[in-house]
Chain A
Amino acid sequence: MNQLRIGIREERRIFQPDDELVGAAGWELDTPPKSVEVRLLWFTRGKGTEDVGVVDTVTFENPQAAEARPFRFQLPATPYSFSGKLISLLWAVELIALPSKDSTRAEFALAPDGQEVRLDRA
């Protein structure tokens, strides 16, 4: 059975714009994958159509069936994480194995004041 894990150093869940994000990804797959990537992305969640933007990607060369690799990203300045009643914008690092497309995510917030922007409190 395929298992994937992704973690952010010190389980940090809040980042400032332009911060560096460091983490590690691990996988145990039935067969060696063709490719393994970690994607830095933002996405929306709520009522209606979801939107997603992949900002950066780290591709691991010559992946074995089971191993662990570190990764790091330079975070951009925007968009900030925010939440209202109809839509939230969240950030995540996503580990994906190809071609099986097995994946897992670790979510975090990117915001200047140490917490997501709340539209209902603005």
Chain B
Amino acid sequence: MRACDNPFSTDRVQGVRYRPVGATWKDLLSRLDALDFRAAIVGPKGTGKTTLLEDLAPRLRSLGFTPKPLRLDEEHRVFPDGFLPNFFADLGSRDIILLDGAEQLPRWHWWRFRRWSREGRGLIVTAHRPGLLPVLIECRTTPELLDGVLTELLGEVGPELRERGRRLFQQHRGNLREVLRSLYDDFARRPEGADIA
């Protein structure tokens, strides 16, 4: 199958947005308010933390806040020299920092970041484990959530593919990102014109 026809291509997977498990968006925003907009989204890899953080942004904007997204990952564990002083100098009283990958920051850097962030209205981070800020939500995945994602991507999911998805879900310990990457490889091996469901 051609890459551009693969239903698990990156652009299609990124089009699947966060689905709260065991909570509603209203619940999340109420809890965020109760935590004074300083909270952590925690959970293992591939459970939707980054997607949730991204999907919070327009909802915060609609409440009159200005989201300020920042991102760290295993290849970029700290911010470039001189970046943060400028960033915080420009921070306004309606700005909410959305920091993806907060656990990458060395401890001392995190403490400084957290202290400086008080110049803004809020700080929401993602992390694999609790401990940085009060927990807004612990992201988790379920086989049923995977079924929903597959249906959104394919429109219809046959029993064979559903079973394959369940096996991959176990193999990757609930990491949906890895499940979808494996399914990409499965589909890449299929001949052109094969039934995608």
Contact surface of A with B, Cβ cutoff 8 Å: 45-50, 83-88, 90, 118
Partner of B10, one of A45, A84, A85, A118: A45
Cα(A86)–Cα(B3), bound, Å: 5
Chain A residues closer than 8 Å to B185, beta-carbon distance: 47
Interface residues in B1-58 by Cβ distance below 8 A to A read: 1-4, 6, 8-11
A46 and B181 form a contact (CB under 8 A): no
Chain B residues closer than 8 Å to A118, beta-carbon distance: 2
The yes or no answer to B105 lying at the interface (CB within 8 A) is no
A45 and B181 form a contact (CB under 8 A): no
B11 and A47 form a contact (CB under 8 A): no
Interface residues in B146-187 by Cβ distance below 8 A to A read: 181, 184-185
Partner of B184, one of A47, A50, A83: A47
- Tally of chain B residues near chain A (CB < 8 A): 14
Partner of A50, one of B6, B11, B181, B189: B11
B2 and A83 form a contact (CB under 8 A): yes
**Which residue of A has the minimal Cβ distance to B180?**
A47
B2 and A47 form a contact (CB under 8 A): no
Known: A50-B10, A50-B11. A45 touches B188 (CB 8 A): no
9 smallest CB-CB distances across A and B, nearest first, come from: A46-B3, A88-B4, A83-B2, A85-B188, A88-B3, A45-B4, A87-B3, A45-B9, A47-B184
- A108: min CB distance to chain B, Å: 12
Cα(A83)–Cα(B8), bound, Å: 15
Partner of A45, one of B1, B3, B189: B3
Cα(A46)–Cα(B12), bound, Å: 9
**Which residue of B has the minimal Cβ distance to A84?**
B3
A83 and B4 form a contact (CB under 8 A): yes
Cα(A96)–Cα(B188), bound, Å: 32
Cα(A84)–Cα(B192), bound, Å: 12
Cα(A56)–Cα(B9), bound, Å: 26
Chain B residues closer than 8 Å to A86, beta-carbon distance: 3, 188
**Which residue of B has the minimal Cβ distance to A46?**
B3
- B127: min CB distance to chain A, Å: 23
A47 and B10 form a contact (CB under 8 A): yes
Cα(A50)–Cα(B4), bound, Å: 11
B10 and A90 form a contact (CB under 8 A): no
Known: A47-B181, A47-B184. A85 touches B11 (CB 8 A): no
